[in-house]
Amino acid sequence: MEILVCVKRVPDTAENEIEVNGSGSDIERDDLVYSVNEWDNYAVEEAIQIRDNVGGTVTVVTVGDDESEEVLRREMAMGADNGILLTDDAFEGSDGKGIATLLKAAVEKGKYDLILTGAQADDGAGQVGGMLAAMLDVPYASLVNKIEVNGDKLKVGREIEGGNQEMNEIAMPCVLSIQTGINEPRYVGIRGIRKVASVEIPELGAGDLGVDAGAVGAAAAKVKRVDYFVPELGEGAEMLEGSTEEIIAKLIEHLKAKGGLK
């Protein structure tokens, strides 16, 4: 099976405190630790497991600048066979539709049976997979947490509310967005990283993709971010201050009053 996985380099929110810069135009990016978007990492692991079971190849693709190459190499060290970097100044400021337009062009340069994305990334929009499927006119399922291959069809489980799982049969080719928890992404060691360090990763710009530069980037974006801000807190929590002993004493009083201690 030929599988394409769309990945993104994002600030690692588990490792960083995200702060807004002085003017509100961006987050503070100095000293940020970047990594592969967590959901995408599960998608790549799932693709590798499917390939190992039924054969084929796994290709990882990303839209970004030169630094985004590091996430492609990381996923190749994990076990993906190929990487593709979509990069061009014209792509900057693309909204979800712009990114999906670029990915569609990349998909059409290959012949993929299955396309995976993470369920969402840093902006929390969760939009690129569904947009890409609609542009390609293939079936889509989001928040997928189980995949079984049955010939040219897949049986997929979707995570829905209340811990329940919605089972669907979906025809390939198709696009699925992958929810965390579907598998346990494997550990990537230094040796794996070294092994793929010199592999050539093709870079494709607007011309290579046959994409009209005016159809992507900031100019084409219907949805635009104006600024970043930290919301004013509501009443907020009563912060307990003092020494640890004093804090614990105050907390125990609260717990007693609210029925938190038996």
Partner 1 sequence: MADIYAYINHKNGVADDSALELIEAAKKIDAGAAVTAIVTGSGSELDQVADAVAATYPKVLKFNADALAYPNAEVVRKLLVNVLPADAILLVAHDTFGMDLSPGLSIKLDSAFVSDVADIEGVDGSTLKAIRQEYSGMVSTHVTCDISAGAVINVRPGCFAPDESQSAGGTVEDKSGDAGDLSTGRTFLEVVEAEVGDVDITKSDVLVSVGRGIEDEENIEIAQELADAMGAVVSCSRPIVDAKWLEKSRQVGTSGQTVKPKVYMACGISGSFQHMGGIKGSPFIVAINKNVKAPIFQVADVGIEADILEFLPELTEAIGEL
Q: Which residues in the 173-192 window bind partner 1 by CB under 8 A?
A: 174, 180-181, 184
In this structure, are residues 78 and 183 in contact, taking their beta carbons and an 8 Å threshold?
no
Exactly one of 110, 126, 192, 205 binds partner 1 (CB under 8 A); that residue is 126
Region of 47-55, 78-86, 165-173, 207-215 interacting with partner 1 (CB under 8 A): 165-173
In this structure, are residues 15 and 35 in contact, taking their beta carbons and an 8 Å threshold?
yes
Smallest separation, CB 199 to partner 1 (Å): 30
In this structure, are residues 30 and 16 in contact, taking their beta carbons and an 8 Å threshold?
no
Exactly one of 33, 52, 54, 171 binds partner 1 (CB under 8 A); that residue is 171
Beta strands 114-118 and 140-150: pairing type?
A: unpaired
- For residues 151 and 79, give the distance between their C-alpha atoms in angstroms, rounded to a whole number: 23
Q: Which of residues 60-119 bind partner 1 (CB under 8 A)?
A: 96-97, 100, 119
Query: Which pair of tokens denotes residue 101?
Result: 């337009």
- For residues 62 and 45, give the distance between their C-alpha atoms in angstroms, rounded to a whole number: 16
Q: Which residues contact 19 (CB under 8 A, 6 or more apart)?
A: 27, 28
**Nearest partner of 208 among 95, 88, 96, judged by Cα:** 88
Site string for partner 1, 189-218 (x = CB under 8 A): ------------------------------
Q: Is 34 in the site for partner 1 (CB under 8 A)?
A: no
Q: Is 33 in the site for partner 1 (CB under 8 A)?
A: no
Exactly one of 17, 30, 31, 67 binds partner 1 (CB under 8 A); that residue is 17
Q: Whose structure tokens read 């804090």?
A: 247
| 76 vs 94, beta carbon nearer partner 1 | 94
Exactly one of 77, 158, 178, 216 binds partner 1 (CB under 8 A); that residue is 158
Smallest separation, CB 132 to partner 1 (Å): 9
Exactly one of 131, 206, 209, 216 binds partner 1 (CB under 8 A); that residue is 131
Q: Is 21 in the site for partner 1 (CB under 8 A)?
A: no
Exactly one of 129, 147, 206, 211 binds partner 1 (CB under 8 A); that residue is 129
Exactly one of 55, 67, 150, 233 binds partner 1 (CB under 8 A); that residue is 233
User: What is the total count of residues that contact partner 1 (CB under 8 A)?
Assistant: 82
CA 11 to chain CA centroid, Å, is: 11
Exactly one of 22, 55, 151, 162 binds partner 1 (CB under 8 A); that residue is 162
In this structure, are residues 155 and 175 in contact, taking their beta carbons and an 8 Å threshold?
no
In this structure, are residues 75 and 7 in contact, taking their beta carbons and an 8 Å threshold?
yes
Smallest separation, CB 155 to partner 1 (Å): 7
Question: How far is CA 176 from each of CA 2, 66, 172, rounded to the nearest angstrom?
Answer: 14, 27, 10
